[in-house]
Structure 1
Amino acid sequence: MLRNYFKIAFRNFWQNKSFSAINILGLALGLTCSLLIFLWVRDELSVDRYHANGPQLYRLMERKFSDGKRTAGPGTPWPISMELPKKFPEVVRAAGFAWGGSLTFSVNNKVNKEKGNWAGADWFKMFSVPLVAGTPETALKTPNSLAISRKLAENYFDSPQAAIGKAIQIDHNEAYQVTAVFENLPQNTNDQYDFLLPWVDFEKRNGWAKDWGNQGPRTFLQLRPDTDLAAFQAKIKNFLWGYNKEIDPKNLASYNIELFIQPFEDVYLHSETENGEIAGGRIGYVRLFSIVAVFILLIACINFMNLATARSAKRAKEVGIRKVVGAERSRLIAQFIGEAMLLTFIAVVVALLLIALLLPGFNELTGKAIAMPFGELNFVLALVGIVAITGILAGSYPALFLSSLQPVRVLKGALKFRPGATRFRQGLVVVQFVISMLLIIGTFVVYRQVNFIQTTNLGFDRENLIYIPLEGGLSKKYTVLKQELMTMPGIQSISHMDMKPTFIAQSTGDADWTGKDPTIKIQFSHTGVGYDMEKVLKTRLLAGRDFSRAYATDSAAYIINEQAARRIGYKNPIGQSLTFWGKQGTIIGVVQDFHFQSLHDPIQPLIIRLNETDLYGNLLIRTQPGQTKEALASLEAICKQLNPTSPFTYFFADQEYQNMYKSEQVVGELVNYFAFLAIFIACLGLFGLASFTAEQRTKEIGVRKVLGASVFSIVGLLSNDFLKLVVVAIVIASPLAWYAMTKWLQGFAYKEELSWWIFALAGLLAIVIALLTVSFQSVKAALMNPVKSLRSE
């Protein structure tokens, strides 16, 4: 019996090659998209979830109350990781973790830039980072110890074992001894690093770190498995009251910091905060694309149903004969669902071949290293489940419909469909185009927002702007460096900055001025710059002047942005007093607000101070338009002359800015691809329904042509019904898309507004696509010879 079913199924596929090919193509494309998204979601959900202590690991967070605002972030005081285990028995271990850095490693004649971090002594005891040489107890214990990855060990010393005990000079300054070699971090690790320096080294490099009022590093905790989390959070909530001198328990309405914890395994996907609470992050994209995967697969299944129904007339007499000779309905249902599952299996094979071809490009687009996990039982079971669920979902309606046909009716050749069956199929088409409309509108909105990010005026000119890290001999010879470069071709202006113009992350509440309300504590972003910064950044001074060598008092002068001027409250800030970090000075300029952080965040008050002596951060170079190549050659020559032991490293400001929005760019491209495929698959379904309708109305069309109806009128007659379905889909999809896109855009402080024309254009596009799809079958039916269609009468 089973063999007979297979024979009938293959015979049916072969007899209807075009429809079978369309069915397989539609399902294969839907499955390809869904499986690619499944692999991406699976990879996202696996990030940082391989640690043995994972359920007991937490990130310490600060909830800050300042200037009437409630914010939260992972920055904590440097000493807190050493203090918490002493005070709370629930804390088994704690480790600080600073922001990543790029340092110069020198071993014999090998000099390279390596990316790494600073971490607490218990880091390797807390996290499952296997050591191939050394021990967790001694890896980061001494001040000049150094843990490196297998990759660095093999690069500098040929093997991990040979690296132990060897010295590596960092930044051509101190030598550090390799005390441990750890296995290269897996791809699904959020914080990637190739070396770790001890926590005490971070304090040595950053004198401000000892102050409990400064936040910056992150702190991770390992808690006892039996810890009552609610009780522990209540205990640590006000821990900083006894350490941070800025917190006045009698005036908490002005300034306060509360501590709370976040599960470490949630950090990657839930990294954003809103109003002092964890608000989401990449989990939003995981949910979004999971829904898109389900929707695309649903469209493919609906497409299958419509195409199968369109061919039902060809199978009706077969069903009638089978029923006459005694076939039970359950066997007929099993047969048709079996055919659907067989076709789905073929589509899965095609989908896997497509994924094998597309996966390298998909990985390049998403920045992943995803591979097909055929060796994992879960993945194989998932594939089997997809075949079963898709086959049953796609084949259920055709199977139930065909098995319900009355043999007397179909053998008379009078196959008529009830209104309910017709409305069901029309409803399926509406669902397809609702999903397609959502994706079309989403594509337009995401594209406009990404384009807005890429083209918006930041308040400074990021074109022809280059950063060079001030390290080694460059910081010590800055004056000579600047003088030499200004004589070189391609160079327009030069200055320096302790941060990057696109990302000034440091802030402080230590600012005072005449008439300040003592009950209010305002957080100011701040940065130190050199002379000629206005020329380099091309910012706009609204009042006053830039720092100048002509004024010796500028060492205690400040430039503020518009936001800072508003918060300080001076009607005419120029010449007014401002005290920053206890250093009293004068405001000499007000610069127009410019974006120095992500467009997700509003512009913060900014204080710019002159820092021409303690040089660190970045050298900023404005190049002559069209002479970037010449400028880079000049920069490389001078840097190698003044800093010969360090590799020449540079960054373009516009590229650094684009890298801040890599996630949005990837989402935009993925949405484009998925929207196109969803529309294509939906059109296959519409093609099926048009084919079905034309087949059902063959004789009607023949009669109309005999009575003189034109081809145009018949095409209009057949197309009209489908256009109504598309219009219904537009009406349903538009408010849903408006709500979804409004929620997505709320994550940006600066964004493109939703315009009515987006919905109108998307609707028009859907109508045009539907017309083009339907017109093929409509014209074909309208051109058919009426003699052939009426011959059976």
Structure 2
Amino acid sequence: MLKNYFKTAWRNLIKNKAHTFINMAGLSVGLACSLLIMLWVQNELSVDGFHKNKSRLYNVYERRYFDHKISGQYNTPGVLAAEMKKVFPEVEYAVNGVYNENNTFMAQNKILKYRGGAADADFFKMFSYPLLQGDAQTALSSLQNLVVSRKMAIAFFGSPEAAIGKTIRFENKKDFTISGVFEDLPDNTLEKFEYLINWNAFLIENPGAKQWDNNWPRTAIMLRADANPVQFEKKITHFLDNYSTGQKKGVFTMELDMQPFAQKYLHGNFAGTKFMDGRIEYVRLFSIIAVFILLIACINFMNLTTARSVKRAREIGVRKVVGAVRSVLIKQFIGESLMVTSLAVIVSLALLVLLLPLFNQITQKQIELPFDQVDFWLKLVAITLVTGLVAGSYPALFLSSFNPVKVLKGTLKLDSGTTLFRKGLVVFQFVLSIVMIIGTIIVARQMNFIQSRNLGYDRENLIYVPVEGELQSKYEVFKAEALKMPGIQSVSVSGSSPTIIDNGTTDVEWTGKDPNNSIRFVQTAIGYDLIKTLKLSLLAGRDFSKDFPTDSAGYVINETALKRMGYTNPIGQPLSLWDRKGKIIGVVKDFHLNSMREPILPLIFWHQEKQAYGSILIRTEPGKTKEALASLETLSKQINPAFPFNYSFSDAEYLSLYQSEQIVGKLANVFALLAIFISCLGLLGLAMFTAEQRIKEIGIRKILGASVSSLFKLLSSEFLVLVIVALLIASPIAWYAMNKWLQGFAFHTEIQWWIFALSGSLIVLIALATVSFQAARAALINPVKSLRSE
């Protein structure tokens, strides 16, 4: 019996090649798309989830109450980890750490720059970063210890084994001994680093991190196996009350809380009183898209299979007459569906192999095909079975229900409920497609808004050079020489990159300040000519100038800061930052000093010509950037020979703030096109079905004088109605979803009516193009052929 089913199914597939190809194309593309999303989702969910003790690992974060708002941050005091381990018996290990420093190392006549940081001695005891050389118990126990990655060890010494015990110079001012080599971090690691130094060595160089009211590093803990996380979370809430001196009840208070370590990547946005949202929203979104695309492909199978119902009606009638019961027919059609699905899965795996490199390029990941994992194959079998059953269920029930007497007499008519159901499936397909089209347009508009918006400063032809090595003490020489070079307009220095100024403080005083309110200001030290170099707009006063020695105690603020202070005539008014008393000398127009997800914060500039860190800002003349960079590299090698010349472009750093949105936009474009393609196959199925059902009607109309154009209009109008219904349903859904997404940006584009009109016009044109061939074919058929059985 099974052999007979297989033969029948195979013959049907071969006999109807066009139908089989369309079915296979829809299912294959849908499955390949869903598998790609599944691999991406798995990769996202696996970030930082590979640690052996992940159920006991937690990030500690601060919850702050001030300015009538609640905010959360992962930055904590640099002495918090040691104190928590000392005070709380529930804490087995604790580390403070920084992981995003970019430093220069020298050894073996090589000078190379690597990104890394520092961590407490417990680091390799807590986390499952395998050491190829060295001991996890002692790798970071000494002030002179340095642990490096396999990549870094090979770059300097040729192998991990050869690196152990070797001396390497750090920032051309201190020597470290390599005490361990760890395996290169896997792709699904949030904090990327190539080296780690001892935390106490870091504190010696950065004493500010020791202060309880100075929040900079990150804190992570590992609880003992018998500790109760819920009770411990409550226990640490007011821990900072005994250490922080900057708190004032009802004005500014801080609390501690904790989050499972592996959740930070996906749940990194603060909402309410906890870190709740973040990339998890994109994971959920694309998981839903994967299900919907696969569902669209299944609906296609239903429509295309039932479109051939008239052709297979006699076969079913004969089978029933000779004794086939309905359950047997259902099994046959489900079997055919599973066969087609299995073939489609094979094709989808081939597509997966071809598309994965491009997908990795778009998502900036290193996802590998898990063909060696049993779990993947089990999931693939489950997807095949579910897809086959879902796709084949309705056709099986529908075709097996035919009355053999009506079929063999040629009087088979489909009831209105069946027709309505199938039209509903097509509407559902196009609702999803239209939502994706509208979403894609709005995402593209928001990205264009971000790229084209006037930031308040000019990011074109602006270069950042890090302050390091001799550039710290010889900045004035560097600036004077750089200004003599062709192609360079102006030079200045800042303690923070203008792209991200987020070093905040509430220790600001001014005349008339409300003592019952604490306002967070962001601040940074800047050198002379910064306003000119950034091309900021001065609303009042002036920039810092060598002509005014008192500017060492002066301040330049932005519009938002002026509004919060309430000064009417701000120039000359008193202002104090960290008890550093001075006066306001200038007010600049607001500019974006962070991503557009954030509102513009009150900003304070204070003067410091020689920076210990930060960036030298260089404005080049348009069209002469390449020439200027060559000159700057030569100058840097003369003044700062122990450090490689590094630079970045302001516009590139700005766009990097929206990396996630850019990836989502590209993926949305691809998936929207695929959804439209698959939906059009469904529309084609309905067109085929309608043509089959109305073949005699069309023949009669032609005999009575109906023109080809009128018949084309008759057949096409039915489909256009379905598309318009889908547009009416999809529009409010898309508006709600995209409006919610845009609320994540403090500055965003508006959702305008023409977006819906454009999407509707586009989908109508696509629908017409899809059904036109089938409608024209039906309208042009010879009525003699369609009526000869009458």
Check if 1:715 corresponds to 2:700. no
| Contact map agreement 1:64 1:276 (CA 8 A) in 2 | no
Deviates more, 1:234-243 or 1:668-677: 234-243
Aligned to 2:6: 6
Aligned to 2:297: 300
Check if 1:593 corresponds to 2:590. yes
Check if 1:437 corresponds to 2:400. no
Aligned to 1:91: 91
Q: Name the amino acid aligned to 1:95.
A: V
Deviation by residue 1:139-177 (Cα, 9 ceiling, x = unmatched): 111112100011111221122222111111011110001
Deviation by residue 1:65-107 (Cα, 9 ceiling, x = unmatched): 1111111111101111110111111111110111411110100
Indicate the SS of the match to 1:789: helix
Indicate the SS of the match to 2:555: strand
Check if 1:736 corresponds to 2:741. no
Deviation by residue 1:151-209 (Cα, 9 ceiling, x = unmatched): 11122112222211111101111000111111111111111111011111221221211
| Contact map agreement 2:527 2:610 (CA 8 A) in 1 | no
Q: Name the amino acid aligned to 2:79.
A: P
| 1:676-691 alignment, distance < 5 Å | 676-691=673-688
Aligned to 1:525: 522
Check if 1:477 corresponds to 2:474. yes
Aligned to 1:339: 336
Check if 1:269 corresponds to 2:266. yes
Indicate the SS of the match to 1:375: coil
Residue 225 of structure 1, CA deviation:
2.8
Residue 568 of structure 1, CA deviation:
1.2
Aligned to 1:260: 257
How far apart are the structure 2 equivalents of 1:638 and 1:408? 94
How far apart are the structure 2 equivalents of 1:615 and 1:288? 44
How far apart are the structure 2 equivalents of 1:625 and 1:275? 46
Indicate the SS of the match to 1:100: strand
Indicate the SS of the match to 2:583: strand
| Contact map agreement 1:466 1:651 (CA 8 A) in 2 | yes
How far apart are the structure 2 equivalents of 1:406 and 1:616? 84
How far apart are the structure 1 equivalents of 2:195 and 2:252? 37
| Contact map agreement 2:298 2:391 (CA 8 A) in 1 | yes
Check if 1:111 corresponds to 2:100. no
Residue 719 of structure 1, CA deviation:
1.4
Aligned to 2:351: 354
Residue 717 of structure 1, CA deviation:
1.0
Residue 652 of structure 1, CA deviation:
0.5
Aligned to 1:240: 240
Aligned to 1:539: 536
- TM-score, length-scaled by structure 1: 0.98
Residue 447 of structure 1, CA deviation:
0.8
Residue 229 of structure 1, CA deviation:
2.6
Aligned to 1:70: 70
Check if 1:774 corresponds to 2:771. yes
How far apart are the structure 2 equivalents of 1:427 and 1:32? 25
Aligned to 1:224: 224
| Contact map agreement 2:493 2:611 (CA 8 A) in 1 | no
- Picking from 771, 783, 787, the partner of 2:784 is 787
| Contact map agreement 1:143 1:201 (CA 8 A) in 2 | yes
Indicate the SS of the match to 1:113: strand
Residue 615 of structure 1, CA deviation:
3.8
How far apart are the structure 2 equivalents of 1:371 and 1:136? 30
How far apart are the structure 2 equivalents of 1:415 and 1:139? 81
Quick one: structure 1 residues 99 and 599, their matched pair in 2 at CA, closer, same or farther if it must change by over 3 Å? farther
Deviation by residue 1:623-665 (Cα, 9 ceiling, x = unmatched): 0001111111111110111111211111001001111101100
Aligned to 1:37: 37
Indicate the SS of the match to 1:476: coil
Deviation by residue 1:464-496 (Cα, 9 ceiling, x = unmatched): 000111111122211111111111111110001
Q: Name the amino acid aligned to 2:220.
A: F
Aligned to 1:461: 458
C-alpha root-mean-square deviation of aligned residues, in Å? Answer: 1.1
Q: Name the amino acid aligned to 2:167.
A: A
How far apart are the structure 1 equivalents of 2:232 and 2:39? 37
Unaligned 5+ runs, structure 1: none
Residue 230 of structure 1, CA deviation:
2.9
| 1:382-421 alignment, distance < 5 Å | 382-421=379-418
How far apart are the structure 2 equivalents of 1:98 and 1:140? 14
Deviation by residue 1:493-523 (Cα, 9 ceiling, x = unmatched): 0001111001012111111112222222211
Aligned to 1:130: 130
How far apart are the structure 2 equivalents of 1:467 and 1:708? 77
Aligned to 2:172: 172
Residue 616 of structure 1, CA deviation:
2.1
Q: Name the amino acid aligned to 2:596.
A: L
Deviation by residue 1:308-342 (Cα, 9 ceiling, x = unmatched): 01111111111111111111211111111111111
| Contact map agreement 2:684 2:774 (CA 8 A) in 1 | yes
Residue 414 of structure 1, CA deviation:
2.2
How far apart are the structure 2 equivalents of 1:405 and 1:366? 49
Aligned to 1:630: 627
Indicate the SS of the match to 2:59: strand
Check if 1:289 corresponds to 2:286. yes
Deviation by residue 1:105-145 (Cα, 9 ceiling, x = unmatched): 10021111111111111000000011111111211111121
How far apart are the structure 1 equivalents of 2:610 and 2:31? 61
How far apart are the structure 1 equivalents of 2:384 and 2:272? 45
| Contact map agreement 1:147 1:179 (CA 8 A) in 2 | yes
Deviates more, 1:510-519 or 1:475-484: 510-519
| Contact map agreement 1:305 1:394 (CA 8 A) in 2 | yes
Indicate the SS of the match to 2:121: coil
Deviation by residue 1:522-545 (Cα, 9 ceiling, x = unmatched): 111001111000111011111100
Aligned to 1:190: 190
Residue 391 of structure 1, CA deviation:
0.6
| Contact map agreement 2:134 2:180 (CA 8 A) in 1 | yes
Aligned to 1:673: 670
Aligned to 1:21: 21
| Contact map agreement 2:99 2:192 (CA 8 A) in 1 | no
Deviation by residue 1:274-312 (Cα, 9 ceiling, x = unmatched): 344223000000000000000100111101110001111
Residue 228 of structure 1, CA deviation:
2.6
Residue 683 of structure 1, CA deviation:
0.5
| Contact map agreement 1:148 1:180 (CA 8 A) in 2 | yes
How far apart are the structure 2 equivalents of 1:50 and 1:208? 33
How far apart are the structure 2 equivalents of 1:415 and 1:22? 26
| Contact map agreement 1:449 1:751 (CA 8 A) in 2 | yes
- Picking from 540, 558, 563, the partner of 2:560 is 563
Indicate the SS of the match to 2:368: coil
Check if 1:159 corresponds to 2:159. yes
How far apart are the structure 1 equivalents of 2:125 and 2:465? 37
Check if 1:610 corresponds to 2:607. yes
How far apart are the structure 1 equivalents of 2:732 and 2:200? 56
Deviation by residue 1:428-462 (Cα, 9 ceiling, x = unmatched): 00110111111011111111111111111111000
| Contact map agreement 1:72 1:275 (CA 8 A) in 2 | no
Deviates more, 1:751-760 or 1:361-370: 751-760
Indicate the SS of the match to 2:472: helix
Residue 227 of structure 1, CA deviation:
2.4
Check if 1:697 corresponds to 2:699. no
How far apart are the structure 1 equivalents of 2:240 and 2:386? 54
How far apart are the structure 2 equivalents of 1:596 and 1:22? 52
| 1:307-326 alignment, distance < 5 Å | 307-326=304-323
Aligned to 1:492: 489
How far apart are the structure 2 equivalents of 1:62 and 1:501? 25
Q: Name the amino acid aligned to 2:203.
A: E
How far apart are the structure 1 equivalents of 2:554 and 2:612? 17
Unaligned 5+ runs, structure 2: none
Check if 1:657 corresponds to 2:649. no
Indicate the SS of the match to 2:234: helix
| Contact map agreement 2:594 2:600 (CA 8 A) in 1 | yes
- Picking from 640, 643, 656, the partner of 2:640 is 643
How far apart are the structure 2 equivalents of 1:498 and 1:278? 29
| Contact map agreement 2:99 2:191 (CA 8 A) in 1 | no
